[in-house]
Amino acid sequence: MKKFDINKFIKTLITPKEHPIVMGSPSDYKNEFGLNTKKSYFSRIRRITTALEDSGYEEILEPRGNYYPFSKVDNIEKDFIRLDKSFKYSPILQIRDTPEPDDGMYYYEEEHGYLSTKKNEYSFLLGVENRNDNFDLNVIEVFKNIKKKDIKKLSQKVLKNQSKTWNYCRWIILNNSYIWGSDSEHKALISKLIVPPSLKRFFLPMLKKKIKFYKDCGHKPSDIKKINSMICILNENRIKKKISWTNIYNFPFTSKLVKGEVCEYLLNPNRD
């Protein structure tokens, strides 16, 4: 197998690629880099697997036994480290969802994370949505020499990128290494372990949409009453260990929270 060149891979990710305009007019295409012409537009590669292929590393994507690299949320960090041990991956937000009651129709995972390496000045905000193994890991934003204080604020970019069209929201997992909420809310989170009210307001519409969906589908009131979302702000190392992911019904083990962690339901579980 060809030796992996991390700088070549990153250059592929950050270099705008030319595409022909085959439909519409040039004004229909975002001129992000000031390179567009009447016949072509430029954009960066977003999909990680496409960047690996364009860099000449198709072999890296070949299956290892029954596992295909970059096909599971739980293995994102391991897959990058297999490319180069200098890669560091930090999960910022995760969302996990199953039907309620769970009939096995779907399993939904979403993750946003920060990818960096000491070997290059560029770093990346990544995002993936995975519904029943439909997995695509994409670059959301590229950074050059980002400052530490701005890394902690990437949580705000993640929320801005969050789609509210879906109603997947059963478990919302946030990394406590990042800043959540306003300055005063973040201070209250650190000192008093209070989940920022703005976070609850942000995610509540998704939960209400989910409840409405189940009502419209004719589910029993007793089942609809059980539908809820839990926000958990956890330590990064514990998130990476995927505590209880293998037994989703027991998650998040609130009795085993450690210092600096907090979990709260969006709605009162005992509501009428």
DSSP H helical segments within the chain, as ranges? 6-14, 48-54, 76-83, 148-151, 154-161, 183-192, 197-216, 221-225, 236-240
Handedness of CA 178, 179, 181, 184 (dihedral sign): positive
Residue 235: which of 259, 254, 253 has the closest Cα?
A: 259
pLDDT class for 258, splitting at 50, 70, 90?
A: confident
Residue with tokens 């039907």: 99
Residue 247: per-residue pLDDT: 47
Residue 54: per-residue pLDDT: 96
Give the chain's length: 272
pLDDT class for 262, splitting at 50, 70, 90?
A: very high
Contact 127, 140 (CB under 8 A): yes
**What's the per-residue H, E or C state across 144-189?**
ECCCHHHHCCHHHHHHHHCCCCCCCCCEEEEECCCCCCCHHHHHHH
Cα(32)–Cα(111) distance, integer angstroms:
25
Q: Is the pLDDT of residue 164 over 80?
A: no
**Residue 30, by phi and psi: left (phi above 0), alpha (psi -120 to 50) or beta?**
beta
Q: Is the pLDDT of residue 10 over 50?
A: yes
**Would strands 134-144 and 230-234 be described as parallel, antiparallel, or unpaired?**
unpaired
What is the chain's mean pLDDT, rounded? 90
- Mean pLDDT computed over 1-16: 94
Residue 98: per-residue pLDDT: 84
Helix-helix angle 183-192:197-216, to 10 degrees: 90
Residue 142: per-residue pLDDT: 97
Residue 104: per-residue pLDDT: 74
Q: What is the pLDDT of residues 221-256, one digit of tens each?
A: 888 988 999 999 999 998 887 654 444 445 555 557
Q: Is the pLDDT of residue 79 over 70?
A: yes
| Centroid of chain to Cα 226 | 26
Contact 175, 234 (CB under 8 A): yes
Residue 113: which of 77, 160, 62 has the closest Cα?
A: 77
Cα(90)–Cα(178) distance, integer angstroms:
10
Cα-atom radius of gyration of the chain, to the nearest Å?
A: 20
Residue 91: per-residue pLDDT: 97
- Mean pLDDT computed over 73-89: 95
Q: What is the pLDDT of residues 14-72, one digit of tens each?
A: 999 999 998 888 888 999 999 999 999 999 999 999 999 999 999 999 998 888 999 99
Cα(84)–Cα(225) distance, integer angstroms:
47
Q: What is the pLDDT of residues 96-145, one digit of tens each?
A: 998 877 777 788 889 999 999 999 999 999 999 888 777 889 999 999 99
